[in-house]
């Protein structure tokens, strides 16, 4: 009996010691305390969302980033399906868009310049002469204000001042992450401005439905509900054309593996070393129709994307090279994930034939993206 009491006392002391350190472990293996820091007087944190089915999403207010997402396979096994880092220090030390909210403008604005209402705005370049993903002061590197609405929903807000990275207008941004009971990660954006400006927000998670982030996604099946895409020139700048996908490696109107045609010797693929392109969706804002579907046949996990946006950027993580060490000590390799970014098109402010990204005072910018997870029967 004494031995039993000693064991109980030891366990209690260990638990108390853990509590004193402020440790709170998530289902995905993250320590919430590792996301506590202060940047310019603003605090960072990690917020945990859950649904009734046991799914878990972890979000930090640094860049309004999704850090981990636990999703069941066909047997109910929960695994993390997104790339990310285990601490806030890692996110700040390594400039990568894992799970980030991108703004003010996802994609490139050519030569960091656009004209609106006869006024020419010069943006801050950060990709050669171009301004990409909002420039060096993009939203992915901002501390957002966070309010957990309930166990399944998180509201994040950000104020971007007039002139930040050269963009006009004081912009107020609102974002809600919700983990729904039909196993979807629902992302809703709103924004308002006091001057005419351009806005194009998106989510930048790197997905691997297998749950094994050491593996390639090239064997996963992809369907894209799009008959056209926006091609690049030899410098990876959009040409302004809208080109049919039929007869090209960009035709995913019938599902096939990501890797089936990814290495074909065509300029559009060699310039990006894989897929990193915007597809022009057939859905035309209809959120009842899937914009894309991704399936990992081994685990049985599936992902459907729904959006009111006109485009979907698909990026097959061609730039990962094993140099970035993420959660569980995994060195993320080339094509170990795929990004499915709902958006307007790159360089729209300079391409009047593209859907407009202009936002004016009195208008409300609204963008909606739903990542709905499910399972398929083994084949």
Q: Is the pLDDT of residue 4 over 80?
A: no
Per-residue pLDDT of 277-306, as tens digits, reads 999 999 999 999 999 999 999 999 999 999
Query: Cβ neighbours of residue 4 under 8 Å, at least 6 residues apart?
Result: none
> Any catalytic annotation for residue 204?
yes
What pLDDT shows up at residue 22? 56
Per-residue pLDDT of 29-38, as tens digits, reads 999 999 999 9
Structure tokens at 245: 């996908």
CA dihedral 257, 261, 263, 269 (to 10 degrees): -110
CA separation for the pair 207, 304 (Å, rounded): 12
Q: Is the pLDDT of residue 13 over 90?
A: no
CA separation for the pair 83, 135 (Å, rounded): 23
317 or 22, which is more confident = 317
Indicate the pTM of the whole model: 0.93
Per-residue pLDDT of 325-355, as tens digits, reads 999 999 999 999 999 999 999 999 999 999 9
Q: Is the pLDDT of residue 75 over 50?
A: yes
Asked if 196 and 365 touch (Cβ cutoff 8 Å), the reply is no
Assigned architecture for domain 32-217+314-375:
Distorted Sandwich (2.70)
Average pLDDT of span 22-27: 85
With CA atoms as reference, report the closest residue to 325 among 6, 136, 84: 84
Asked if 185 and 179 touch (Cβ cutoff 8 Å), the reply is yes
Per-residue pLDDT of 229-283, as tens digits, reads 999 999 999 999 999 999 999 999 999 999 999 999 999 999 999 999 999 999 9
Average pLDDT of span 91-120: 96
Q: Is the pLDDT of residue 110 over 60?
A: yes
Transcribe 171-217 into DSSP letters. EEEEEEEEE-TTSEEEEEEEEEESS-EE-B-EEE--B-TTS-TTS-S
Phi, psi of 73 (to 5 degrees): -90, -170
Sign of torsion over alpha carbons 285, 287, 290, 292: positive
Average pLDDT of span 100-115: 98
Q: Is the pLDDT of residue 5 over 90?
A: no
What average pLDDT does the chain have?
Answer: 94
Query: DSSP class of residue 286?
Result: -
Percent over 90 (pLDDT), the chain: 92
Structure tokens at 38: 């202060």
Question: Among the listed ranges 7-16, 46-55, 114-123, 269-278, which one has the minimum average pLDDT value?
Answer: 7-16
What pLDDT shows up at residue 379? 62
CA separation for the pair 136, 262 (Å, rounded): 31
Average pLDDT of span 207-224: 98
> Any catalytic annotation for residue 341?
yes
Preceding peptide of 203 cis, ω within 30°: no
CA separation for the pair 200, 127 (Å, rounded): 18
Query: Cβ neighbours of residue 185 under 8 Å, at least 6 residues apart?
Result: 57, 66, 69, 177, 178, 179, 370, 371, 373
User: Which one of 130, 133, 203, 204 is the catalytic residue?
Assistant: 204
What pLDDT shows up at residue 23? 72
Structure tokens at 300: 């049985």
Q: Is the pLDDT of residue 150 over 80?
A: yes
Instruction: Please state the domain extents for the chain.
Output: 32-217+314-375
Structure tokens at 321: 């090279």
CB atoms within 10 A of CB 46: 24
Average pLDDT of span 122-144: 97
Residue with token string 């009842």:
288
User: Which one of 277, 304, 341, 344 is the catalytic residue?
Assistant: 341
How many helices (H) does the chain have, and how many strands (E)?
3, 28
């Amino acid at each position: 009996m004494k031995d039993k009491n000693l064991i109980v006392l030891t366990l209690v002391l260990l638990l108390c010691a853990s509590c004193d350190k402020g440790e709170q472990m998530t289902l995905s293996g993250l320590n919430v305390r590792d996301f506590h820091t202060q940047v310019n007087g603003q605090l960072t944190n990690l917020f945990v969302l859950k649904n009734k089915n046991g799914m878990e999403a972890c979000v930090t207010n640094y860049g309004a980033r999704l850090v981990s997402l636990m999703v069941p396979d066909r047997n109910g096994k929960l695994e993390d399906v997104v790339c990310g880092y285990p601490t806030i220090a890692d996110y700040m030390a390594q400039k990568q868009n894992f799970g980030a909210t991108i703004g003010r403008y996802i994609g490139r604005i050519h030569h960091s310049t656009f004209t609106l209402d006869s006024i020419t705005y010069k943006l801050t370049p950060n990709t050669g002469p171009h301004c990409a993903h909002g420039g060096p002061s993009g939203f992915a590197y901002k501390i957002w204000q966070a309010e957990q609405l309930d166990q399944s929903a998180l509201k994040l807000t950000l104020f971007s001042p007039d002139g930040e990275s050269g963009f006009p207008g004081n912009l107020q941004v609102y974002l809600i992450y919700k983990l729904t009971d039909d196993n979807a990660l629902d992302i809703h954006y709103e924004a308002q401005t006091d001057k005419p400006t351009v806005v194009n927000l998106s989510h930048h998670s790197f997905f691997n439905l297998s749950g094994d982030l050491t593996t390639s996604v090239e064997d996963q099946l992809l369907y894209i509900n799009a008959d056209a895409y926006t091609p690049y020139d030899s410098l990876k700048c959009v040409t302004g054309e809208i080109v049919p996908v039929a007869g090209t490696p960009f035709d995913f109107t019938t599902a096939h593996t990501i890797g089936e045609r990814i290495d074909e010797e065509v300029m559009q693929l060699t310039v990006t070393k894989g897929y990193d392109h915007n597809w022009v969706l057939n859905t035309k804002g209809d959120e009842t129709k899937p914009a894309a579907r991704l399936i990992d046949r081994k685990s049985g996990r599936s992902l459907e994307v729904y959006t009111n946006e006109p485009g979907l950027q698909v990026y097959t993580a061609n730039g990962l090279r094993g140099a970035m060490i993420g959660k569980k000590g995994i060195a993320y390799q080339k094509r170990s994930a795929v990004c499915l970014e709902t958006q307007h098109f790159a360089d729209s402010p300079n391409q009047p034939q593209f859907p407009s990204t202009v936002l004016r005072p009195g208008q409300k910018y609204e963008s909606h993206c739903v990542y709905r997870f499910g399972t398929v029967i083994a084949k």
